[in-house]
Amino acid sequence: MSLEVPELGAWTRRAACTSADPEVFYPARSDTGNALAAKAICATCPVVDECLQWALDHDEIYGVWGGLSEHERRELRGS
């Protein structure tokens, strides 16, 4: 059974992370292992672009979204 989070959109049903532990996507700054684990899941995801775009559009400041960490998304935005 897949879960769709309405505020995120229908693309979430196809996300590779739906069966992963959400904690992996919210690592402590010092926990590069979990960030790498999250990014590995994102690398296999068919909706990684939609995920990243959602995070950018909504100024998501926490976690790994679309294969990028908070810091990487800030750099991408130029802020």
Q: Which pLDDT score is estimated for 32? A: 67
Looking at the structure of the chain, the number of domains it has is 1
Instruction: Look up the pTM and report it.
Output: 0.83
User: 70-77 vs 48-57: helix axis angle to the nearest 10?
Assistant: 70
Asked if residue 3 is part of any domain, the answer here is no
Asked if residue 5 is part of any domain, the answer here is no
Domain span holding position 49? 10-77
Q: Which pLDDT score is estimated for 69? A: 93
Per-residue pLDDT in tens (0 to 9) along the chain, 79 residues: 344 455 677 888 899 999 999 989 998 877 667 789 999 999 999 999 999 999 999 899 999 999 999 999 999 988 7
Asked if residue 68 is part of any domain, the answer here is yes
Asked if residue 57 is part of any domain, the answer here is yes
Asked if residue 17 is part of any domain, the answer here is yes
Asked if residue 2 is part of any domain, the answer here is no
Asked if residue 49 is part of any domain, the answer here is yes
Q: Distances from the Cα of 45 to the Cαs of 30, 50, 75, in angstroms?
A: 25, 10, 22
